[in-house]
Structure 1
Amino acid sequence: MNPSAIEVSAETFYIAAQSQPEQHKFVFAYTIRIQNNSLEKVQLLRRHWLITDANGLQVEVDGEGVVGEQPELAPNESYSYTSGAVLETPVGTMQGHYIMQDNKRNEFQVAIPLFRLALPNILN
């Protein structure tokens, strides 16, 4: 399995209603889209995140699946989910990888490209 056949993209949103900037609590949501461009079925087994705020504080998160699921994606199928992160600063980044398996149960790693979490209009 060629890991580059699995495409991962992210869209982020600032959740002002749940944030408390005066208490250094900035809440973000992100929607991840995983597209299987391979010729075989794959399954997402685990995730690893590295979340970094503007102060350089890093938090690593590992777990089974995503949002309680271990989705299977047929060829040319996509899967999307929305989750969230809380930062102590108004800007930060997330990146990581998924551990997936092909239909022969061979595990492989798929990179989650770095994406930015930021208050609207804070960065040009």
Structure 2
Amino acid sequence: MQIALHHVQLAAPPECEEVARSFYGGLLGLEELPKPEGLRGRGGVWFRCGAHEIHIGVEQDFRPARKAHPAFLVDDLDGLRERLERSGVSVREDVPLPGYRRFHASDPFGNRLEFLQALG
């Protein structure tokens, strides 16, 4: 049996779509994916992230994920940090991981995100 990751879903409040597009599509540069017809009425927005997908789903009683988080592997951590900070996103350092540089930030909804770059 083979198991692989297809997507990660992050919750967001109702009417989050334009803010999600601005952050995930504009700031992070992820490609927006069309939602299947049968799921469009639920709201939210989907993005391609390498070979995987990030789904921003609407949750009526939304509470941000402050511990659970996706980790994004990037090839220019310093450039991303600068772009995020210029846009007013707070960046937080964390304990180093062997073989990586990393930091954490929050999306506009308060969900924790990790960004990593391999050393070497």
**Could you state the TM-score of these two structures normalised by the residue count of structure 2?**
0.28
Decide which structure has greater helix share.
2
Which structure would you say has the larger RCO, counting Cα contacts within 8 Å and 6 or more residues apart? Answer: 1
| Greater strand proportion | 1
TM-score under structure 1 normalisation? 0.28
